[in-house]
Structure 1
Amino acid sequence: MTAMAPDKTEFIPFHATIAAHAVAGADSIAFRVEEREVDWQTFHGRMVQVAHAMLRSGVGPGDRVAIIGLASLAYLECLFGTIAARACVVPLPASASASALETMLLDCGAKLLFLDPDTGPAIADMAMRGAAHVVPFGHAGADGEAYTQWRSRGADSGCGLPAAQPQDPFNIIYSSGTTGVPKGIVHLHGMRRNQAARQGFGFSSTSRTLLSTPMYSNTTITPMLGTLANGGSCILMRKFDAGRYLALASAHRATHTMLVPVQYKRILAHPDFAACDLSAMELSQSTGAPMDVALKRDILQRWPGRFVEGYGLTEGGISCFLEPRLHPDKLHTVGRAAHGTEVFLVDESGQRLPPGQQDVAGEVVGRSPFMMAGYHNRPDADAEIRWYDREGRVHHRTGDIGRFDADGFLSLLDRRKDVIISGGNNIYAADLEAVLARHPGVLEAAVIGVPSADWGETPLALVLARPGVSIDPDALREWANAQVGRTQRLSAVELRQELPRTALGKLSKKELRAPYWRCADESAAKP
């Protein structure tokens, strides 16, 4: 838990960085998406065209430009062209429903929308009914005639681009959390630039970063900006497939990657993994969801290179890292606070807990140089996430319950909203899930709180069995309950074939709980 270091990084706009790469490494590959690639000089020219076309279309500094689509070279041109025009890019989740996307578009007030037709007819119909001017891309990652013609409006412009400022809104990312209505997270250009200059990830001009998470995700944007800032190459997948990922990593000698835990599981389980050459991999990162201990051990045994697990928020403020190879006895944790980051716990009343208290649980709160400006048009949400110290400095509340050990390593126990309160006792799902994970027949387990007439709510385990293994739910419940405290005991174990997840692989406990509480509400409503 270190003190936050002041940020002294010189502000260099991203379009200026790309312009410099276009001179110094003109023929070097900037981006590759599936079978298409573009060098820095060509990419710079197209980015400038996009920026001028926007300006001629009436998009100015601070205006919002939305993109709905899968990774493509056109998507990347529009993302950085928006920033070069001093507008704010809004990458929207292509996996969301048309109605949810319509809500986000109305909320951000986008003047211009770039649309990938591969997102489907329902989204296309919604977009055409909206207020924003729509420019469609081609199918299967192609530029498409409509986009190419629109971009050509910015050709042969003798005018310079507006000078970007650190306080310019860089992007609005809509939260993909498992509860509530998505909120628009605003990041500033200066923060993103400082984030891209962050040390410790080993990016250089020879880096080849393979990314397979969606374009709207911070899991993709953050390492992409770090690679770009250092003049490396980014290889992006339109859609994740474990076999295709392995083929790309081997063929292009990928040096860096960022994946979510479920992707690591699928890659390691793929029949081609053993024969795939990942020897060029220098740094592999995991984020987006907690990773279980068994998977970390598997990565250490089979995945080459440095491996880092990151814990944080898209909103910023919290940043913890665990290097399992350096700390094999801490695999149950998410590591320690990153350099320049302050992380601590607060109690239920919001009071800061004294440092050094072991096994005392509280909500994780933190502050770092890499924090959002706030939520777009949501002062209520700003007030909910912000925690102020005596000097009036803003920190972010995570909503996660955790505890520190004697060495300052943080273990996550549950979401604050997911804590099971049974008979007045707080029960943390992570404690019970860790016990279940030790059973040889359990592949994965999720513990949720379900209604109880006697206790208010009680813990229920939803379990996936390992392939070919038969589990007796009652026997498993008795086995687990023999290893926990009396107030932690499971009321039941249910076997499942799968567990619901978000597009980024995060377990949706809200979806798991809903049927049980809906039935309880319906029963209570009956006369």
Structure 2
Amino acid sequence: MQMTQGLQRSLQQTPDRTATVFRGRRRSFRQFAARVARLAGALQGLGVQPDDRVGILALNSDHYLEVMMATWWAGAVLNPVNIRWSVPEIVYSLDDCDTRILFVDDRFTPLADAICASARHAPRLIHAGEQELPHDMLRYEQLIGNAAPVPDARRADVDLACIMYTGGTTGFPKGVMQTHRNLWCGALQRIAEIPPLPRSVLLHSAPLFHIGALSRAMMQFVSGGTHVIVPGFEPAELLHTIEREGVNELALVPTMIQALIAHPDFERTDLSGVKRLSYGASPILPTVLEDMLSALPGVDFFHQYGLTEACPIVSVNPPENHAEQGRANGLSGSAGRAVPGVEVKIVDDDGRELPPGSVGEIVVRGPNITSGYWNKPAETSAALRDGWLFTGDGAWMDEAGHLFVVDRIKDMIVTGGENVYSAEVEGVIARHPAVAMCAVIGIPHPTWVEAVHAVVVLRPGASLDADAVRAHCRDSIAGYKCPKSVEFRAELPLSGAGKVLKRELRAPFWPARAAAATP
């Protein structure tokens, strides 16, 4: 089980099929593999040894996928750096796992001096952008052109493949250790549940530093499909790229779906080639789900639930649960059922399994589950107990094994001794026709300890006040779940992966917590 095997297979079986497309630049699997072998040779020439860490701080591009594969081809370990982080957070991840090589693109070149000045060991910088080369960096294309190709190191199984830092939306970052076996099994488990399309042409728009996008790229290599890449999520470019390149498969998060459908170019774009849309990373609001189904008829929708520690797949909700019957019986709101090879159960605070219908914590185990966090034995012991990964996600399960995620455990609001799950309240608020997006958090209260607080973004031209929001909620949920306060904003803070950054929303109300979560 090695992450370069899919590339080796495509090189043998379909060498002239298009491997990557980036803004008109096209390369076959033969060309891609040749560049990977040379870039791996360049890394070894710079002193990279087996298990050394190689970082990349960049927007999406074909270079990103080349660096990923070349790192493994050279026998090293990938550190995909979060593009939304500040310099101290970036440096923390580089120092924590001793990353000595760092690829940067044009967007992040201006941060290079500050990174090198504050890192424990200033990384060797390789410029993987398109603009003029900074004087103190190595040139990406020159490295590839001057290096001799090297054989695939064929690191596999329990060899470490990736250290992916997580926790940026909720607290102090932790380096999740992912082996070749973990990632390979995650790819196969997804393939078993969602078979590849014939001649799949997948669009990458979610950031590749994130496990959802990176793992989807890995699965595309395993199955031999084509990667079409845009630097980031920009609705107009994404729509034009889908039409121009004949994209038949999309992987998005709910906030991206919402923005895509609302864009003026959506109705003018030929999306008839799209056959499948997979979404995940956060629950989808019922209103967004209905908009998606209406706007893209004939497309198969898959909801995937997972997390970085599961590399990332845990469960899948298939197209039939998005159809009329699935929406009628509530299964469209499910995160689906466990994929092959993954065991899932719901437990209480003491780790005891709960009966169907009871809310508790999701725990999982399987060959895709991480062995722990880099240099963090205490956090590893807390998350991995008796072979089970404690996810921190609250959910309940029906008698047929369908998961219904209600909240992050730490996001649950305890008000007056009652538990309130933010996802439930958000779903109700989002049904109001004036609401575009919303987020619900707990804020301090002198009597109830915590109070429900809603942050709302209105649709263009709409008007709404706090009393109307509360009245709308009282029609659907208990009074203690209704927001005691409502804040209106022009936009919500989002992570690079499109998740709402509730840590930032809570920070003004809980300054001590915010300070403790800062590296």
TM-score (norm 1): 0.88
Give the alignment of 1:353-364 within 5 angstroms. 353-354=354-355, 356=356, 358=357, 360-364=358-362
1:412 alignment partner, SS class: strand
Displacement of 1:362: 0.8
Contact 1:84 1:162 in 2 (8 A): yes
Residues 1:337 and 2:326 are matched in the alignment: no
Residues 1:121 and 2:86 are matched in the alignment: no
Displacement of 1:284: 0.9
Residues 1:371 and 2:362 are matched in the alignment: no
Whole-Å Cα distance in 1 between the matches of residues 131 and 55 of structure 2? 19
Give the alignment of 1:240-319 within 5 angstroms. 240-303=233-296, 304-316=298-310, 319=314
Contact 1:387 1:395 in 2 (8 A): yes
Structure-1 residue corresponding to 2:404: 411
Q: 1:501 to 1:141 in 2, by over 3 A?
A: farther
Residues 1:94 and 2:94 are matched in the alignment: no
Whole-Å Cα distance in 1 between the matches of residues 58 and 240 of structure 2? 23
Contact 1:319 1:368 in 2 (8 A): no
Structure-2 residue corresponding to 1:448: 441
Structure-2 residue corresponding to 1:202: 195
Give the alignment of 1:188-227 within 5 angstroms. 188-197=179-188, 198-203=191-196, 206-227=199-220
Contact 1:89 1:171 in 2 (8 A): yes
Q: 1:145 to 1:520 in 2, by over 3 A?
A: closer
Whole-Å Cα distance in 1 between the matches of residues 109 and 151 of structure 2? 37
Give 5+ residue unaligned stretches, structure 1.
1-10, 389-393, 522-527
Deviation by residue 1:190-218 (Cα, 9 ceiling, x = unmatched) = 22223333323332561111110112111
Structure-1 residue corresponding to 2:517: none
1:477 corresponds to which of 470, 480, 486: 470
Larger of the two Rg values belongs to structure: 1
Whole-Å Cα distance in 2 between the matches of residues 512 and 90 of structure 1? 28
Deviation by residue 1:367-407 (Cα, 9 ceiling, x = unmatched) = 2332122211111121121132xxxxx11112111122344
Q: 1:518 to 1:234 in 2, by over 3 A?
A: same
Contact 2:392 2:409 in 1 (8 A): yes
Contact 1:117 1:124 in 2 (8 A): no
Displacement of 1:439: 2.7
1:30 corresponds to which of 2, 19, 30: 19
The letter for the 2-side match of 1:325 is: H
Structure-2 residue corresponding to 1:49: 38
Whole-Å Cα distance in 1 between the matches of residues 89 and 512 of structure 2? 26
Whole-Å Cα distance in 1 between the matches of residues 183 and 46 of structure 2? 26
Displacement of 1:47: 0.9
Whole-Å Cα distance in 2 between the matches of residues 99 and 364 of structure 1? 32
Whole-Å Cα distance in 2 between the matches of residues 23 and 404 of structure 1? 44
2:238 alignment partner, SS class: helix
Whole-Å Cα distance in 1 between the matches of residues 62 and 202 of structure 2? 16
The letter for the 2-side match of 1:243 is: A
Structure-2 residue corresponding to 1:175: 166
Whole-Å Cα distance in 1 between the matches of residues 9 and 426 of structure 2? 50
Structure-2 residue corresponding to 1:328: 327
Contact 1:112 1:133 in 2 (8 A): yes
Contact 2:186 2:313 in 1 (8 A): no
Worse-matched range after superposition: 231-240 or 321-330 = 321-330
Contact 1:52 1:153 in 2 (8 A): no
Structure-2 residue corresponding to 1:427: 420
Q: 1:240 to 1:338 in 2, by over 3 A?
A: same
Displacement of 1:184: 0.9
2:111 alignment partner, SS class: helix
The letter for the 2-side match of 1:381 is: E
Deviation by residue 1:467-518 (Cα, 9 ceiling, x = unmatched) = 3222131233134235433433432233222222212111122211221234
Deviation by residue 1:74-95 (Cα, 9 ceiling, x = unmatched) = 3322221110111111111222
Deviation by residue 1:310-332 (Cα, 9 ceiling, x = unmatched) = 11111107612223434223233
Q: 1:436 to 1:16 in 2, by over 3 A?
A: closer
Displacement of 1:141: 11
Whole-Å Cα distance in 2 between the matches of residues 76 and 97 of structure 1? 23
Worse-matched range after superposition: 439-448 or 453-462 = 439-448
Whole-Å Cα distance in 1 between the matches of residues 348 and 132 of structure 2? 49
Residues 1:515 and 2:516 are matched in the alignment: no
Displacement of 1:146: 1.6
Whole-Å Cα distance in 2 between the matches of residues 368 and 46 of structure 1? 34
* Percent identity (aligned): 30
Q: 1:469 to 1:227 in 2, by over 3 A?
A: same
Contact 1:33 1:71 in 2 (8 A): no
Whole-Å Cα distance in 1 between the matches of residues 152 and 242 of structure 2? 37
The letter for the 2-side match of 1:343 is: V
Contact 2:383 2:391 in 1 (8 A): yes
Deviation by residue 1:134-176 (Cα, 9 ceiling, x = unmatched) = 2222335999972223234432x6x644342211111111115
Deviation by residue 1:415-437 (Cα, 9 ceiling, x = unmatched) = 21122112222222223223323
The letter for the 2-side match of 1:321 is: V
2:469 alignment partner, SS class: helix
The letter for the 2-side match of 1:348 is: D
Displacement of 1:258: 0.7
2:256 alignment partner, SS class: helix
Contact 2:365 2:389 in 1 (8 A): yes
Displacement of 1:409: 2.6
Aligned Cα root-mean-square deviation (Å): 2.6
Residues 1:103 and 2:92 are matched in the alignment: yes
2:380 corresponds to which of 382, 392, 405: 382
Contact 1:441 1:469 in 2 (8 A): yes
The letter for the 2-side match of 1:512 is: L
Displacement of 1:124: 4.4
Contact 2:322 2:332 in 1 (8 A): no
